[in-house]
């Protein structure tokens, strides 16, 4: 009897059981996607645990047996590495099993990672935290990130950029919730002799489990051949938008995949480097004008533009096209990066802030526009899996960006350049990266038809193009 119940429960996760019935509104799908992305977006706020976790034994200050910041930095790094690896390796499994199974699995991994990490904190064993948040949670991140992408694109063939932009905006917004919530929970569970990190992990894990299960429950796939009311697909093939499909691993054999990989990597490298250094950079470039508190406000403002840009630019790409959108990122981004040293020389904080707000919006926009770019190039069938493979560009940029910014600044300071001017070369290097990105984007053409899946094979898979 119990095995029958288990089979029925597993059956609910099947792709076939996720097909929407008549009367289902496609506007239920973005909240389902947001249920997942708002939760896994917590990863951006993990740093709020760093300092408390260095005082778990000493409480008021670090004791010799307490974890070091350098040990704790690995938790986030492992999670991001596993995100990229799992998205790349499990993309096909996610696509073929459907969004509900993927969201359900992502929820179990993400919440399970928190619970195991809570135990690791409780017994003070950092390896359990690496395994919990880093590896198991990292799988939740990777699977969860790509799980709603192709589903949204299928539901919104008329506005694919806006649809995926909404979900990926949620990933940016997840930190806005997690950061103050984590601080509040830690305060709630802390006593003069105890820091409430483990309890906070448990509560967060349970909250995220509920949210992600709700997302898995309400997500639906459109029936094959479904189209939104009033939407008529273009009769003539549009430039740079395919009506065919490319198999996930076949995409790796196309120059388009690697050019888009470079486009994403360069756009992210330029943004991620300054994002991590924004607070220090604003204070060092404007030592008389920007205080520590104001710098924190600057970081918050950049995060808002990072999130808003995801929705704005991805939506804009539906009207002007993906290639043109990336041209804007690279041209305007390069121009603004070149302008930043002048703002420092002029002492113009407002212009400096304005430059970085626009740059951050385009950094977020780059993430959010890329799924629709992949759909245009490779079709809908395996877009989520191909997106998973592309996320390795993010992992690479996560290493290059901060390293470039930190090392160039350090080199300048060691060679006698004033701190206020130490970032100038970095800004020009970032601008140069964006110029390279501009030319990579320029080289992108339609995928050659020899890479397309045969029609009958695609039809057999029940593709709703």
Partner 1 sequence: MSHTTTPLHLVLAWGFVGIPLGWGVIQTVINALKLFQ
Residue ranges that bind partner 1, judged by CB under 8 A: 20-25, 27-28, 31-32, 34-35, 38, 170, 173, 175-181, 211, 214, 218, 293-298, 300-301, 303-304, 307, 353
89 or 304: CB nearest partner 1: 304
Q: Is 373 within 8 Å of 264 (Cβ atoms)?
A: no
18 or 86: CB nearest partner 1: 18
272 or 307: CB nearest partner 1: 307
Between CA 101 and CA 82 the distance in angstroms is 19
DSSP single-letter state for residue 443: T
Shortest Cβ 11–partner 1 spacing (Å): 16
Spacing of C-alpha 196 from chain mean position: 28
Q: In sequence order, what are the residues at sequence separation of 6 or more whose Cβ sits closer than 8 angstroms to the Cβ of residue 145?
A: 37, 40, 83, 87, 171, 388, 391
Shortest Cβ 446–partner 1 spacing (Å): 36
Q: H-helix or E-strand containing 396?
A: helix 392-414
416: left (phi over 0), alpha (psi -120 to 50) or beta: left
Quickly list DSSP for 268-331: HHHHHHHHHHHHHHHHHHSTTT--HHHHHHHHHHHHHHHHHHHHHHHHHHHHH-HHHHHHHHHH
30 or 398: CB nearest partner 1: 30
Query: Residue-wise over 323-353: b if at least 16 C-beta within 10 A, else e?
Result: bebbbebbeebbebbbebbebbeeeebebbb
Nearest Cα residue to 165 out of 264, 330, 307: 307
Between CA 62 and CA 136 the distance in angstroms is 28
Shortest Cβ 98–partner 1 spacing (Å): 17
Shortest Cβ 215–partner 1 spacing (Å): 9
Shortest Cβ 297–partner 1 spacing (Å): 3
| 3-class DSSP state of 411 | helix
Q: Is 109 within 8 Å of 402 (Cβ atoms)?
A: no
Shortest Cβ 27–partner 1 spacing (Å): 6
Shortest Cβ 300–partner 1 spacing (Å): 4
4 or 25: CB nearest partner 1: 25
290 or 463: CB nearest partner 1: 290
50 or 283: CB nearest partner 1: 283
42 or 267: CB nearest partner 1: 42
Shortest Cβ 347–partner 1 spacing (Å): 16
294 or 464: CB nearest partner 1: 294
Shortest Cβ 4–partner 1 spacing (Å): 21
Query: Residue-wise over 12-30: b if at least 16 C-beta within 10 A, else e?
Result: ebebeebbbeeebebeebb
């Amino acid at each position: 009897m119990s095995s029958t119940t288990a089979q029925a429960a597993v059956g609910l996760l099947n792709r076939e059981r996720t097909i929407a019935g008549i009367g289902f509104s496609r506007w239920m799908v973005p909240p389902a996607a947001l249920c997942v992305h708002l939760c896994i977006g917590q990863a951006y706020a993990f740093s709020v645990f760093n300092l408390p976790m260095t005082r778990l034994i000493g409480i008021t200050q670090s004791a010799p047996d307490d974890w070091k910041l350098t040990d704790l930095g690995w938790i986030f790094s492992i999670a991001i590495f596993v995100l990229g690896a799992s998205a790349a390796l499990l993309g096909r499994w996610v696509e073929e099993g459907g969004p509900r199974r993927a969201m359900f699995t992502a929820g179990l991994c993400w919440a399970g990672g928190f619970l195991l990490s809570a135990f690791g904190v409780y017994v003070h064993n950092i390896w359990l935290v690496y395994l919990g948040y880093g590896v198991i949670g990292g799988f939740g991140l990777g699977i969860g990130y790509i799980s709603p992408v192709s589903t949204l694109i299928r539901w919104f063939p008329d506005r694919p950029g806006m649809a995926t932009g909404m979900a990926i905006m949620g990933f940016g917004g997840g930190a806005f919730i997690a950061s103050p919530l984590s601080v509040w929970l830690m305060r709630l569970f802390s006593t003069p002799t105890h820091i409430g990190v483990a309890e906070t992990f448990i509560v967060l894990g349970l909250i995220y489990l509920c949210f992600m299960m709700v997302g898995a429950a309400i997500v639906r796939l459109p029936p094959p051949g479904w189209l939104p009311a009033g939407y008529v697909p273009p009769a003539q093939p549009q430039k740079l938008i395919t009506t065919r499909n490319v198999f996930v691993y076949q995409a790796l054999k196309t120059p388009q995949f690697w050019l888009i990989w470079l486009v994403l990597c360069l756009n992210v490298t330029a943004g991620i480097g300054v994002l991590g250094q924004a607070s220090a950079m604003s204070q060092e470039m404007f030592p008389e004008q920007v205080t520590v508190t104001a710098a924190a406000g600057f970081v918050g403002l950049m995060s808002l533009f990072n999130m808003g840009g995801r929705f704005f630019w991805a939506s804009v790409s539906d009207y002007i096209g993906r290639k043109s959108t990336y041209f804007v990122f690279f041209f305007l981004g390069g121009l603004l990066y070149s302008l930043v040293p002048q703002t420092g020389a002029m002492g113009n904080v407002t212009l400096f802030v304005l430059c970085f707000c626009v740059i951050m919006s385009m950094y977020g926009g780059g993430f959010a526009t890329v799924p629709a770019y992949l759909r245009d190039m490779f079709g809908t069938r395996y877009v989520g899996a191909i997106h998973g493979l592309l996320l390795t560009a993010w992992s690479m940029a996560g290493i290059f960006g901060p390293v470039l910014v930190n090392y160039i600044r350090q080199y300048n300071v060691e060679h006698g350049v004033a701190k206020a001017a130490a970032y100038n070369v970095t800004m020009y290097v970032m601008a140069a990266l964006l110029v390279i990105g501009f030319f990579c984007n320029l080289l992108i053409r339609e995928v050659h038809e020899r890479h397309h899946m045969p029609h009958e094979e695609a039809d057999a898979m029940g593709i709703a193009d």
